């Protein structure tokens, strides 16, 4: 019976190959262990200018890398052996399977399908192993350069927006769904001013470039301009809250900050605005000051953006063209330029530099809601979207972005550190990541059961000149957080 004898000989050959592979794996492991032990002992004996703690951490990390790749190498050999065994079995069974002959095309299709499954398994194993190595480096980087400094707790509902004053005294402003806006001492975390003039959710807050004026946008279809006067309290010694770690910890709503005692009840309250802007027919989702502070722009769910004169409160221009609700607006720091974002997957650039010509440019490139678009230095705009991407654009070339950042979660109101060109990305999944303008990831803000946001992060804001806190974030967990980002160390590790 030629079929049976051929099958038996093929089986014996496969068994011998498996045995030889097993022996080669054992020899490889033992020889590699002998080889890797010597350089490590030599490294430990060499003189180094690194501190002993840093040196030991590096040796431990490299040891983890070595073990991960060794395991990966062994798994790779075993998977290759399985592929060869499968191919031999298919070749042996190619003549008779279930009493019917299998054509060469069917045999090739089946072998290709089985091989692709094993190939996918190999890729999955490789990604899982390397992700552990990458996470080790990212955790070390975040702990070294990103530290939580202060938490600002006092709102009774989620915080939509956070902003830093551009004049002295430098204070922090937060806008909340609890119908209030609060001003805080950055150093002490104490509430200084409470604004209660709105009858709807306060969706954004921005400070005047040169005066103690705040601009807030609200769900009551209005934007308010109101004056504040604060006296900063004496800073107290700050307790060390930099217990870092990036372990993902699921936190329930009961873990959110306890605000049963209203910390803002004893601070001065402003109830009436200087100016109320009332031309919109829907929720005013955002507002910002134009350069010079004599005009403001508002963005609304009625699909329009309005330009107002601050002194007279008159509507100067109504900017139409978006097909769906607006989500954000931003002004250029030195030029009369405005960018508006929308749920129609686009953002638009409005040019008011020439009083007689008001040009508009449409930027298309996202596949979902554009949650925000902000200016940077020069001629660049950075846009974030619910399609989980961030794109960097050159205003001189609107056809395609010059850089694209792909993430694992929808992106909310982004902010750019203009001086260092670092983008802060707040996510729906409670993470905040830092990237440079070319799309290189720099760090992730630490988050654990003891620190960080416990629900969606809505907004971020840089304060480049503050000595203690230079990045602020806020979210649905009803708190704002001040972070110290060691930017020189961050850029050096890049």
**Average pLDDT of the residues in 172-190:** 97
Rg (CA), the chain: 30
- Chain centre distance of CA 384: 10
Label residue 53 by pLDDT band (50, 70, 90). confident
**Res 63: pLDDT:** 84
**Nearest Cα to 385, choosing from 363, 414, 421?**
414
CB 270 within 8 A of CB 182: no
**Average pLDDT of the residues in 354-362:** 84
**Average pLDDT of the residues in 384-401:** 92
Pairing of strands 479-485, 146-153: antiparallel
**Res 69: pLDDT:** 84
Q: Is the predicted pLDDT of residue 319 greater than 50, yes or no? A: yes
**Nearest Cα to 200, choosing from 183, 178, 216?**
178
**In the block, which residue shows the tokens 């707040």?**
426
E strands present in 57-200: 146-153, 159-164, 171-176, 181-185, 191-195
Cα Dmax for the chain: 103
**Average pLDDT of the residues in 478-484:** 96
Label residue 488 by pLDDT band (50, 70, 90). confident
pTM above 0.75, yes or no: no
CA-based end-to-end distance of the chain: 68
Domains parsed from the chain with CATH numbers: 158-228+261-409+429-435 (2.130.10.10)
H-run or E-run covering 217:
strand 213-218
The chain-wide mean pLDDT, for the chain, equals 81
Q: Is the predicted pLDDT of residue 108 greater than 90, yes or no? A: no
**Average pLDDT of the residues in 439-453:** 89
Angle of helix 2-45 relative to helix 52-92, nearest 10 degrees, comes to 170
Q: What is the DSSP letter of 317?
A: E
**Nearest Cα to 86, choosing from 74, 78, 76?**
78
**Res 93: pLDDT:** 65
Greater confidence, 213 or 123? Answer: 213
Tell me the per-residue pLDDT of 222-241, one tens digit each, with 9 for 90 and over.
999 999 998 887 665 544 44
In the chain, pLDDT over 90 holds for what percent of residues? 54
**Average pLDDT of the residues in 242-247:** 39
33-42, 104-113, 308-317: which is most confident:
308-317
Q: 3-state class of 343 per DSSP?
A: coil
Pairing of strands 441-444, 432-436: antiparallel
**Res 236: pLDDT:** 57
Q: Average the pLDDT over each of 104-108, 207-211, 317-321, 474-478 and give the range with the smallest value.
A: 104-108
Label residue 258 by pLDDT band (50, 70, 90). low
Residue partners of 237: CB distance under 8 A and separation at least 6: none
**In the block, which residue shows the tokens 């480096």?**
137
**Res 113: pLDDT:** 56
Label residue 245 by pLDDT band (50, 70, 90). very low
CB atoms within 10 A of CB 169: 14
With b for 16 or more beta-carbon neighbours within 10 A and e for fewer, the 59-72 pattern comes to: eeeeeeeeebeeeb
Pairing of strands 269-270, 191-195: parallel
Q: Average the pLDDT over each of 76-85, 451-460, 474-483 and give the range with the smallest value.
A: 76-85
């Amino acid at each position: 019976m030629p079929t049976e004898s051929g099958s038996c000989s093929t089986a014996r050959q496969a068994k011998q190959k498996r045995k030889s592979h097993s022996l080669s794996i054992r020899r490889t492991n033992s020889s590699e262990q002998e080889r890797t032990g010597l350089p490590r002992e030599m490294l430990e004996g060499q003189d180094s200018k690194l501190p002993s703690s840093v040196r030991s951490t590096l040796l431990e990390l490299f040891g983890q890398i070595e073990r991960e790749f060794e395991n990966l190498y062994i798994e790779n050999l075993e998977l290759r052996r399985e592929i060869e065994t499968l191919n031999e079995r298919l070749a042996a069974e190619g003549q008779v399977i279930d009493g019917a002959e299998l054509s060469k095309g069917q045999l090739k299709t089946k072998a290709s399908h089985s091989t692709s499954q094993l190939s996918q398994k190999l890729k999955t194993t490789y990604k899982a192993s390397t992700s552990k190595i990458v996470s080790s480096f990212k955790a070390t980087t975040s702990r070294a350069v990103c530290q939580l400094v202060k938490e600002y707790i006092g709102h009774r509902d989620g915080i939509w927006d956070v902003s830093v004053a551009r004049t002295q005294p430098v204070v922090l402003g937060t806008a909340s769904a609890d119908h209030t806006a609060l001003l805080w001492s950055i150093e002490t975390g104490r509430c200084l001013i409470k604004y209660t003039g709105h009858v709807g959710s306060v969706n954004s807050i921005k400070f005047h470039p040169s005066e103690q004026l705040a601009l807030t946008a609200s769900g009551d279809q209005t934007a308010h301009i109101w004056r504040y006067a604060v006296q900063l309290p004496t800073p107290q010694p700050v307790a060390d809250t930099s217990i870092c770690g990036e372990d993902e910890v699921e936190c329930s709503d009961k873990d959110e900050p306890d605000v049963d005692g209203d910390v803002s009840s004893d601070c001065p309250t402003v109830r009436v605005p200087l100016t109320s802007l009332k031309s919109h027919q829907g929720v005013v989702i955002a507002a910002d000051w134009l350069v010079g502070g004599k005009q403001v722009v508002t963005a609304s769910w009625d699909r329009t953006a309005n330009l107002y004169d601050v002194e007279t409160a008159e509507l100067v221009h109504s900017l139409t063209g978006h097909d769906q609700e607006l989500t954000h607006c931003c002004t250029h720091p030195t030029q009369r330029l405005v960018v508006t974002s929308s749920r129609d997957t686009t953002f638009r650039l409005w040019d008011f530099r020439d009083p007689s010509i008001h040009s508009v440019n449409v930027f298309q490139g996202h596949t979902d809601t554009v949650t925000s678009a902000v200016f940077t230095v020069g001629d660049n705009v950075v846009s974030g979207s619910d399609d989980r991407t961030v794109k960097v654009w050159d205003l001189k070339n609107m056809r395609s972005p010059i850089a694209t950042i792909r993430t694992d979660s929808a992106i909310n109101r982004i902010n750019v550190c203009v001086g260092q060109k670092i983008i802060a990305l707040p996510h729906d999944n409670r993470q905040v990541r830092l990237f440079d303008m070319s799309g290189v990831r720099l760090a992730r803000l630490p988050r654990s059961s003891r620190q960080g946001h416990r629900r969606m992060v809505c907004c971020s804001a840089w304060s480049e000149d503050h000595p203690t806190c230079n990045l602020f974030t806020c979210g649905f967990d009803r708190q704002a957080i001040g972070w110290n980002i060691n930017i020189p160390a961050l850029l050096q590790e890049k």
